[in-house]
Amino acid sequence: MKRLYAASLLAASLAGCASAPPAVDTSEQEVIGIINKVNGYWQQREAPQKWAFWDIAAYHTGNMEAYQITGNPAWRKYSEDWAAHNNWQGAKSTDKATWKYQYGETDDHVLFGDWQICFQTYADLYKLDPDPKKIARAREVMEYQMSTANKDYWWWSDGLYMVMPVMTKLYTITGNRQYLDKLHEYFEYSNSIMYDSDAQLYYRDARYVYPKHQSVNGKKDFWSRGDGWVFAGLAKVLKDLPKDDPYRADYIAKFKGMAQALKKAQTDDGYWTRSLLDPQHAPGPETSGTAFFVYGYLWGINNGLLERDEYLPVVRKGWRYLSKTALQADGKIGYVQPIGDRAIPGQVVDQNSTTAFGVGAYLLASSELVRLLRQ
C-alpha cells in the first residue's frame, strides 16, 4: 500500500498539480502483472530452442529487460537455454572469405546485422555471469568486421537496432575504443542513405526515399516499425555510451528530433499507423512500432533527455493502447504487423497478429514503464 500511495503522489507531482491527470494510468504492480502475463503466455507456448536470427533474437532483448525488472530466474534461464542452443553464435560460417552482409538467412551471412542482434543478449548474460565463451563469437565477428575498410554494413533501418547496441555493450565489456569509433562511422553511412533531415525520420532503406517512393496519397512513406527500430536503438546506445563520448551529441540530436516528429504522428487512440505521415496508407492499430516508440519515450524521460511535461502525454496515450487494445485477455500481444519491410495497404493486422519480436518490443516498453513508476 505504501508503494501504491507513493506512486500516486509521484504521478500527481509529475503532472504538475493534484487535479491534473496522473503520469500514466497504472501502477507498478499492475505493469509487473502485465509483464508476467505476457511473458508467461509466450514462454509457455514457445520453446527456447529456436534459431538466433533477428525475429527471435529481438524477443530476447525484451525478455532480458523483463528479467532485469522482475528478477524471475526462469526468464534468465530461457535466454540462456536459447543461447546455448545456438552455441553463443549467430550465423556459423568459419570461412571469413565467404562472409556476407547483404540480406541472407544462411550461415555465410555472418556480417549481416540480423544475425548479430543475438550478441546483445549474449553480452547481457555475460555481464550477469562472466564467461569468455559467451562473447567469443561476438568479438570474433565484430572485431573482424571493424578490421575491414567497409562502412556500409547498416543499409536498412532495422540494422540500427540490431547492431548499434551490440557495439556499445561490447565496448563496456572490453574497453576497446574502436567499437565506438566504428559505431559512429557506420551510423553516419546509414544517415547518408536513409535519414530525412526535414522530417527527422528514417526511411526503411534507400528504396523508399521520397520522391522515388511515395505513399498512396503521394506523401513521404516512413514505416513505423522501421523508425521504431531506430528510436529504440538510439535509446539503447545512449544507455551505454560514455557521457564524454565525442559523438554523443549526434545521437542525442537524432533521438530528440525523432521524438518531436513522432509525437506529431501519434493518433488520438495512442498508436502509430504503419505509414507514419500518411495514416490512410495502411490504417489501423499496429503494436510493434508503437511499443518501440513508447519504450524510447520512456527511456528518454527516465534519463533526463526528454521533457516530462511534453512527452508524458505521449506515453500515457501509447500505454493506454498497449494495455487496453494490444494486450489480449489471455496475455497474447495482438496487432503486430508480420515480418516485412514496409507498410502494405490492405494487409490484415488484427488481435490475432502476434510475433516474437512484437512481444520483445512490448516487454521493453512495459519494463521501462516500471522504471518510471519506481522513480
Write out the catalytic residue numbers. 158
How does DSSP assign 8-54, residue by residue? HHHHHHHHTSTTSPPSSSS-HHHHHHHHHHHHHHHHHHS-S----SH
Could you give the CA distance from residue 27 to residue 5 in angstroms, rounded to a whole number?
A: 10
Local structure of residue 106 (DSSP, 8 states): S
User: By three-state DSSP, how is residue 327 classified?
Assistant: strand
Q: What value does the CA radius of gyration of the chain take, rounded to a whole number of Å?
A: 20
- CB of 223 closer than 8 Å to CB of 342: yes
Q: Is 198 exposed, middle or buried (0-12, 13-18, 19+ CB in 10 A)?
A: exposed
Helix (H, G, I), strand (E, B) or coil at 366: helix
What does the alpha-carbon distance between residue 189 and residue 163 come to, in Å, rounded to a whole number? 14
Counting every residue written for the chain, the total comes to 375
Among 130, 233, 149, 224, smallest CA distance to 191 is for: 233
The DSSP secondary structure of 205-235, one letter per residue, reads BGGG-TTTS--TTSS---BHHHHHHHHHHHH
